[in-house]
Chains A and B, each alone.
Chain A
Amino acid sequence: MAKTTMIKAITQALEDELKRDKNVLVFGEDVGRNGGVFRATDGLQDKVGEDQVFDTPLAESGIGGLAVGLALTGFRPVPEIQFFGFVFEVMDEIAAQIARTRFRLGGTRKMPVTIRAPFGGGVHTPELHSDSLEGLMAQTPGLKVVIPSDPYDAKGLLTAAIRSDDPVVFLEHMKLYRSFKQEVPDEAYTVALDKAAIKREGKDVTIISYGYMVHESLLAADELAKEGIEAEVVDLRTVSPLDEETILGSVKRTGRVVLVQEAQRQAGINSQVAALIAEKVILSLEAPIARVDAPDTPYPFSDAETIWLPNKQDIIEKVKETVNF
């Protein structure tokens, strides 16, 4: 056990899997000699060689196609898209090829591909670096979409993703890369790809969130507790497929729910979770399903991030509205 950052936990998971299985391949733009633009693959090429960790030309669509080809010949590709805003270049390979291959070929082939990509706001990136585009992926049948919020989950979920025979889109929030440390086991372990986690227990209202917003939700819950409102905070961890049992169980216990995401209202995953709750547990609801999300505009220029991104205060206000409904 050692305290480590999320980025180091990710590197550990990659190193463990590269050494455990020679078919695991890590590739992308500047992931080799350079060690990745965020150091996620730092030192890996030296440790396992450039046959397993290598740079590619600057072409996301080509990287996606490379993953398809390698997977069809028995490898376990772990490509990186430098920033998830660049996913548009590789949408066909992900949504129309990787996600559909098992279905298209009647189960005679599989796509054990894990696509890693950073995303997320609050660190003043240039345009199309911070956009939350998990909603696009979650609407694509055949993909699992995983978004860890802390180092422990990041390592366990990435290990499980790489070992999974189905394609996984693994999204890493940039603000969480180094913002805090957490105890993470030295040895390899997995965290289930279809299970949410209750990160704080409470009886008055359920806050459902993922990614960096889990931390804003926990901060909000701390403040609400001072006013006598006990919020339960659920971290989805996997936004597709959703862990219905954990979501519905919590909402049934509290009778009130606030959904929190960093993406715009029309994007993300909130509306899907809201529909699920309305469909399955409406008889337990004491108040309307509430949503906290970003305005329906393109991701803002970096100077406007602080007034645009959802935060603790937005969550506190929405929870109070819901509790006092």
Chain B
Amino acid sequence: DHSLPVLAMPSVRKFARENGVELAKIKGTGRHGQVTKADIEQALSLPQDA
């Protein structure tokens, strides 16, 4: 399951993977569009649409 070329620190990638979040679908708010841990948490807090 590859989410490249999304920019994210390894810790964030692991956090996303463990929570079943697909990185490519997240809009990164960090520098240069980097996905942050907060972005993943934000996505998880939203109601699931399916």
* Chain B residues within an 8 Å CB radius of A181: none
Whether the Cβ atoms of B4 and A255 lie closer than 8 Å is yes
Shortest CB distance B38–A (Å):
16
Q: Does A295 contact B (CB under 8 A)?
A: no
Shortest CB distance A259–B (Å):
16
Shortest CB distance A289–B (Å):
10
Which A residues from 248 to 286 make CB contacts under 8 A with B? 252-255, 282-286
Shortest CB distance B3–A (Å):
8
Nearest opposing residue in chain B for A325, CB measure: B14
* Chain A residues within an 8 Å CB radius of B2: 203-204, 255, 286
Whether the Cβ atoms of A283 and B4 lie closer than 8 Å is no
Q: Does B26 contact A (CB under 8 A)?
A: no
Whether the Cβ atoms of A285 and B10 lie closer than 8 Å is yes
Could you say which of B5, B7, B10 contacts A287, with CB atoms under 8 Å apart?
A: B10
Could you say which of A252, A287, A288 contacts B4, with CB atoms under 8 Å apart?
A: A252
Could you say which of B7, B13, B34 contacts A286, with CB atoms under 8 Å apart?
A: B13
Nearest opposing residue in chain B for A253, CB measure: B4
* Chain A residues within an 8 Å CB radius of B4: 252-255, 284, 286
Could you say which of A204, A253, A282 contacts B10, with CB atoms under 8 Å apart?
A: A282
Whether the Cβ atoms of A288 and B10 lie closer than 8 Å is yes
Q: What 0/1 pattern do residues 4 to 41 of B give for CB contact below 8 A with A?
A: 11011110010000000000000000000010000000
Give the docked Cα–Cα distance between A51 and B2 (Å): 61
Give the docked Cα–Cα distance between A254 and B2 (Å): 8
Shortest CB distance A130–B (Å):
36
* Chain B residues within an 8 Å CB radius of A285: 10, 13
Listed in ascending order, the chain B residues whose CB lies under 8 Å from chain A are: 2-5, 7-10, 13, 34
